[in-house]
Chain A
Amino acid sequence: MTDTLQLAGKSFDSRLIIGTGKYRSFEEMKAAHTASGAEMVTVAVNRVPLDRKTESFLDHLDPAMQILPNTAGCYDAEHAIRTARLAREALETDWVKLEVIGDQTTLLPDNEQTLEAARVLIKEGFIVLPYFTDDLIMAKKLIEAGCPAVMPLAAPIGSGMGVQNPSNLRIMREQLPDATIIVDAGVGVPSDAAVAMELGADAILMNTAIAEAGNPGQMATAMKLAVEAGRLAYLSGRMPKRLYASASSPIQGAIK
């Protein structure tokens, strides 16, 4: 059985999308990217420093990777829209990870501005993948606006806290069975990724959990396996939870 991730007309074998930030070296980043099996990586849009020679960061990425530019660092819809337009111009891609931050300390998303920006960008032909708070109603609005997937957070960006509100993800999955849900931000360890996938997420986007690991390449492998394990578990259907024990061995016939 092929179980690919379908996203805006593209098919991905990997359900892990990873970032390119915070790596200690390009070598470590490349090793992690390869080990993760990811087919899509995020990049940020930033001012080019003046008066000095700069090399292109993109040269350090596997050319086979789909590049997903983000709008990180934007605090209102207007900045996010401008950033997306610049990214499209430079990369010739309509894909954008829409991120409108509401607050510097928590980096929690400003859902209202995110929705506003999503509507404008979708009209302009962008494929908008929005990062937002794990809220069902917001997810519905973003899908209605035309987002091909929604990307609820598990926990604040770079916190590594894991899925803070599993019920919200479960509700989102149950209420939006046809939506593509990508859990973005907050994963710290492979078990977090597995939990999100077991809850029915279609994919996971992570950066810090791999980049800040002691051995990013090895952690990338662990994340790949966790995403696969979680996905298989979700498709298999978990056993019901019970308050009391249920014997696995026959109760009748034991010697007395």
Chain B
Amino acid sequence: MKIKINGEIKELEKALSLSQILELFSLPAQRVAVELNRRVVRKQDWSTTIVEDDDRIEVVHFVGGG
């Protein structure tokens, strides 16, 4: 199955939870936020939220800005 994460298309061999996805792509779990198909997924729901084909995920953190 294919997902789009932070704008990049990635191939997954099997369905994974958001927690597993973060781990797979070496994404930090602290002070980040995750959006699945334009909706924020609370941290406590990451492990039970299973990603499906064509899902769009955004994982954001903070950078310098004005």
CB 8 Å contact bits of A88-125 with B (1 = contact, 0 = none): 11110000000000000000000000000000000000
Within 14-72 of A, Cβ neighbours of B (below 8 Å) are at 19-23, 29, 42-54, 56-58, 67, 69-70, 72
Contact between chains at A51 and B26 (CB < 8 Å): yes
Residue A235 interfacial (CB < 8 Å): no
Most buried by B among A51, A69, A86: A86
Q: Give CA–CA (A247, B25) in the complex, Å.
A: 74
Contact between chains at B6 and A50 (CB < 8 Å): yes
CB contacts (< 8 Å) of A22 on chain B: these are 64, 66
Give, as a whole number of angstroms, the nearest-CB distance from B23 to chain A. Answer: 12
* Number of A-B contacts defined by CB within 8 Å: 114
Q: Give CA–CA (A88, B35) in the complex, Å.
A: 12
CB contacts (< 8 Å) of A86 on chain B: these are 33, 35, 40, 58, 60
Contact between chains at A72 and B66 (CB < 8 Å): yes
Residue B30 interfacial (CB < 8 Å): yes
Give, as a whole number of angstroms, the nearest-CB distance from A53 to chain B. Answer: 6
Residue B14 interfacial (CB < 8 Å): no
CB contacts (< 8 Å) of A67 on chain B: these are 62
Contact between chains at A50 and B58 (CB < 8 Å): no
CB contacts (< 8 Å) of A54 on chain B: these are 27-28, 61
> Which A-chain residue is minimally distant from B26 (CB atoms)?
A51
Contact between chains at A85 and B40 (CB < 8 Å): yes
> Which A-chain residue is minimally distant from B42 (CB atoms)?
A89
Q: Give CA–CA (A208, B65) in the complex, Å.
A: 10
Residue B5 interfacial (CB < 8 Å): yes
Q: Give CA–CA (A29, B64) in the complex, Å.
A: 10
Q: Give CA–CA (A42, B64) in the complex, Å.
A: 8
Q: Give CA–CA (A83, B35) in the complex, Å.
A: 10
Q: Give CA–CA (A57, B30) in the complex, Å.
A: 12
Residue A157 interfacial (CB < 8 Å): yes
Residue B8 interfacial (CB < 8 Å): yes
Contact between chains at B30 and A56 (CB < 8 Å): yes
CB contacts (< 8 Å) of B66 on chain A: these are 19-22, 42, 44, 70, 72, 157-158, 185, 205-208
CB contacts (< 8 Å) of A19 on chain B: these are 64-66
Within 1-60 of B, Cβ neighbours of A (below 8 Å) are at 5-8, 25-28, 30-35, 38, 40, 42-43, 58-60
Contact between chains at A90 and B64 (CB < 8 Å): no
With A20-B65, A89-B34 already in contact, 9 other A-B pairs whose C-beta atoms are closer than 8 Å: A20-B66, A21-B64, A45-B63, A48-B60, A50-B27, A56-B62, A67-B62, A85-B35, A90-B61
26 A-B contacts (beta carbon < 8 Å): A20-B64, A21-B64, A21-B66, A22-B66, A43-B62, A43-B65, A44-B62, A44-B64, A44-B65, A45-B60, A45-B61, A46-B61, A46-B63, A47-B7, A47-B59, A49-B6, A54-B27, A54-B28, A56-B61, A56-B62, A57-B63, A70-B66, A85-B33, A89-B34, A89-B40, A158-B66
